[in-house]
Amino acid sequence: MVEFAKKLVAVPEIPMQWLAVAGTVTGFGWLLLQDRIHPLVVYCMQLYLSF
Amino acid sequence: MSADAVLREVTLTLPMSADMEVQASQSASALARSIAMSPEKIDEVRLAVVEACINAFEHSHADDGRVDITFSVLGRDDEPHSLEIRVHDTGIGFAPETLVEPMIADKLKSNRKRGWGLKIIRGLMDEVEIDSGGHGTTVVMRKLR
């Protein structure tokens, strides 16, 4: 029944991994802008991005 | 802070070349140890000095290709209470108030991944002052003992 309904309305596959990455990056970015991330963590992030 | 006396002072002039910031961080570390600063604070000072030097190396575009760093132990009645570090270049300068913090999503796509240097310095040190203009840039950082 569910399969039949899916075929009828063509429910798109939800890209969970993409959503999780986007959510994490957005959340971290927001905390960064609010100065709620320790400078050592910011330094490590910058170092990680450099490689 | 201005009424404090300079108890000791060390000046370094570094060429803008690879790994020179390590020399600066070692000098900062030695002076911080001499005033019995805690190891955690010494690490924070070292990191701030490295970031300030790399900023000068990468962004100053100074014709003389060098950075002057002055480390001063400040105190009263021969009792040291803070370390002051001045990182000076004679480059093109910038307007600190117009500096926009980079967005992490943009940096993920960009080739240049750095950009949080000043934020790191401000977070690690107790006081940070930036004087910048056509004459160059001076970053003054202070850390209480």
| Contact yes or no for A46 and B124 at CB 8 A | no
**Chain B residues contacting A, CB < 8 Å?**
44, 47, 51, 101, 103-105, 107-108, 113-116, 119-120, 122-124
A34 to chain B: which residues are within 8 Å by CB?
Answer: none
Amino acid identity, position B10: V
Are B120 and B46 spatial neighbours (Cβ–Cβ below 8 Å)?
no
pTM: 0.84
Q: Which two tokens stand for residue B62?
A: 């100074």
Q: Is A32 on the interface with B (CB under 8 A)?
A: yes
Residue B49, pLDDT score:
97
Q: Helices B39-59 and A39-50 sit at what angle, rounded to 10 degrees?
A: 50
Tell me, what's the pLDDT at B70? Answer: 98
Q: Tell me if ipTM is over 0.85.
A: no
pLDDT band for position A2 (50/70/90)? low
Q: Which residues of A touch B49 (CB under 8 A)?
A: none
Pairing of strands B5-15, B79-89: unpaired
Which of the residues A21, A26, A32 would you substitute to probe the B interface, choosing the one with the greatest number of B C-beta atoms within 10 Å? A32
For each of the domains in chain B, give its residue range(s) and CATH number, in order of start.
5-144 (3.30.565.10)
CA gap B56, B62 in Å, rounded:
9
- Which of B46, B51, B101, B104 should one mutate to test binding to chain A, selecting the residue with the greatest count of A CBs within 10 A? B104
Q: Is the pLDDT of residue A10 over 70?
A: yes
* Spatial contact of B119 and B51, defined as CB atoms under 8 Å apart: no
- How confident is the model at residue A1, as a pLDDT? 66
Looking at the complex, report in whole angstroms how far the Cα of residue A12 sits from the nearest Cα belonging to chain B. Answer: 25
Q: What does the pLDDT profile of chain B (145 residues) look like in tens digits? A: 457 899 999 999 999 998 999 999 999 999 999 999 999 999 999 999 999 999 999 999 999 999 999 999 999 988 999 999 999 999 999 998 888 888 887 877 787 778 899 999 999 999 999 999 989 999 999 999 9
Place of tokens 């600066």: B24
What residue type is B101 in one-letter code?
Answer: E
pLDDT at A3: 72
Residue in B51, B104, B122 closest to A32 by CB: B104
Mean residue pLDDT of chain A comes to 86
pLDDT at residue A30, as a whole number = 92
The end-to-end CA distance of chain A, in Å, is 49
Strand partners of residue B79: B76
Handedness of CA B125, B57, B43, B37 (dihedral sign): negative
Task: Give A6's pLDDT tier (boundaries 50, 70, 90).
Answer: low
